[in-house]
Amino acid sequence: MQLCGDMAILKVERLNTPPLALAVNTDGVQEGTQVWFIGAPQGLERTVTAGTVGSRAREIDGQRYIQLGATVTPGDSGGPLLDEHGLVLGLVTGRMEEAQGIGFVVPADVIQTFLNENGVSFVPGTVEGNQLAWRERTADGGKPAEQAVN
């Protein structure tokens, strides 16, 4: 198994694109849900790959992951996992080498905890300073509503 739990915070100056919204939780994500991730497999930048959620709470070595039914290759790690609304459900982190088509994602709530512990606040629609946009996924799977955390 090839997994990496390392995360880093990067500050990008003068970003001229809107930020992707980080999901508040992944409770509404069910096994079989269609998802997409963006990566650079084998250096092929801006590649979008479709897959399905195999398990929303797979525990490996004490860490919880979203298990994907999709091929994750070198260059995909660190890319966002998106739902049908464009919400970031997590970050692609690795794959099972012993089997094809099984990937793993660090869930959004783990990312939120990491960001909170490192002083990054969540404010809808902005990425100025140490702020990040996020939206809450509705329990019924509908379009997310923007929220703010103080």
- Other CB atoms within a 10 A radius of the CB of residue 106 amount to 25
> Are the beta carbons of 136 and 147 closer than 8 angstroms?
yes
The whole-angstrom separation of Cα 3 and Cα 71 is 14
* Average confidence (pLDDT) over 25-43: 88
State if pTM tops 0.85. Answer: no
- Other CB atoms within a 10 A radius of the CB of residue 91 amount to 21
* Average confidence (pLDDT) over 30-39: 93
Tell me the pLDDT tens digit for each residue of 52-81: 999 998 998 888 899 999 989 888 988 999
**What one-character-per-residue DSSP string does 65-98 give?**
EEEEES---TT-TTPEEE-TT--EEEEEEEE-TT
User: Which domains, and CATH codes, for the chain?
Assistant: 22-38+46-146 (2.40.10.10)
